[in-house]
Each structure stands twice: as structure tokens, then as C-alpha cells.
Amino acid sequence: MMITLDGSTTIHLPDWNEQYHSKNGAIQEAYHVFIKAGLNNCIPKKLAILEIGFGTGLNAFITYLETEKGNKNIDYVAVEAYPVLDNEIKKLNYISELQATSKQAIFTEMHTVSWDEKHPLSSCFSLTKRKQFFQEIRDVDQFDLIYFDAFGATNQPELWTEEIFSSMFRALKLNGVLVTYSAKGSVRRAMQTVGFLVERLPGPPGKREMLRATKK
């Protein structure tokens, strides 16, 4: 476990020298990349979101908190092949850092509900966790927004290929959007090759840029 620069925790993988979230601030990164550049730019009030890499549940949880503001109704699907262990989840400090003590039960439920079933967690947010490899995704025209939060291309280049982004393109509805923390040139070119219109945006703390891709 690691404390990132904004005080929030993330899980450190020493064999890869990589973390589930930015060491410059887990919560800051999640809000910057997925909420500010993604969710807040989506016009429809009813949205289907696909998350690539459920991990610690941080992105799903802050998205749920956004629905509590009353302006979105979200059907959230998260894909994860290797779920985080319960003892690691208990060490995360997102509830205290987000001042969301009253939502502790929701965060716990996100990690304990059964896989491959849809679970309404509130009147405005449902969660489906799919235990699945990213290469197995076969959805077509299903999602308004994709949070692409896979481990970095340095350690898992097979997750950042034209093949993967082609499946992401198919999964999105027309004018759907994919956001990711990555700004690598190879990633941008792979997105463009499969048909995405790609923008470089200012990155979260510690990163100069990030990418937002639109299915036009």
C-alpha cells in the first residue's frame, strides 16, 4: 500500500514498480481524468459507462458520488480479470479522504456484490462487475463513456493495441467518448487508426497530458 501525494492510498505492485493510481494523487487523478474530462462532458443525463479495470473501485465510487448530486442516472459496467483482495480493500482510505463516511456501505457493497449480475445501488446508479479479460469484450454500441484505466503500456503493452481500441470503438455508441490517463504517442496513434477522433488534454498532477477519444 502507498500513500499518494494528495493523501489518498493506492496499491503498489513492487514486481512491476507500478501503482493502481498515480503516486501524485489517486483521488486527484480519478477526478481529473474520469470525472472532469469524461463524465462532466457527457450531455445525456442517463449514461452507460464501461470501466476498463475496476481495481480498487475508486473510479466507480466517485462516479456514484457524482450521481448523488442529482444530475445523472448511470448504468456502470466494470471489467476486471484479477479482483483486488479483501484485505487490501480494507486498507484504502477513500472514504475518509472523500469525507464520505455515510457512503461506507456503498463502497463495501461495490466490492462484495456478486460478479456478472446487475446490482442497483441507488435509484440513480447500478453496477455490473464482469470478471473478464479485456480482450474478451464484445459489446457493440452499448456505452456512452469508457473509463480506460488499464495498467500502463510499459508493463502491459497488449492492453493498449489497435485490437483493444477497435473493441472499445465498437462498444461505444456514436459520439461516445473514451478517456484515459495515458498520453503516449503509440496509444494515440492506435486510437486514431481504428477511427477515433483524439484530443490531447492537460493531464492530472504529475502528467503533462492525457487523451480523450470520440467515436465520430
- Tens digit of pLDDT for each residue in 132-153? 999 999 999 999 999 999 999 8
- Tens digit of pLDDT for each residue in 88-126? 999 999 999 999 999 999 999 999 999 999 999 999 999
- pLDDT for 129 beyond 90: yes
Say how far apart CA 112 and CA 118 lie, in whole Å.
13
Query: For residue 17, what pLDDT band results from cuts at 50, 70 and 90?
Result: confident
- Which of 30, 50, 37, 76 has its CA nearest to residue 173? 50
- Which of 172, 169, 175 has its CA nearest to residue 195? 169
Mean pLDDT of 81-90: 95
pLDDT of residue 19: 86
pLDDT of residue 198: 98
Say how far apart CA 163 and CA 169 lie, in whole Å.
10
Total count of domains within the chain:
1
- Model pTM above 0.75: yes
Say how far apart CA 194 and CA 17 lie, in whole Å.
31
- Tens digit of pLDDT for each residue in 175-192? 999 999 999 999 999 999
For residue 99, the domain's CATH number is 3.40.50.150
What range defines the domain where residue 13 resides?
Answer: 2-215
Report DSSP state, residue 33.
I
CB 128 within 8 A of CB 76: yes
CB atoms within 10 A of CB 69: 8
- Which of 3, 117, 112, 110 has its CA nearest to residue 57? 110
Q: Exposed, middle or buried, 121 (CB in 10 Å: 0-12/13-18/19+)?
A: buried
Radius of gyration of the chain from its Cα atoms, rounded to whole angstroms: 16
End-to-end CA separation in angstroms for the chain: 40
Beta bridge partners of 12: 19
**In 3-state terms, what secondary structure has residue 76?**
strand
Say how far apart CA 17 and CA 15 lie, in whole Å.
6
- pLDDT for 60 beyond 80: yes
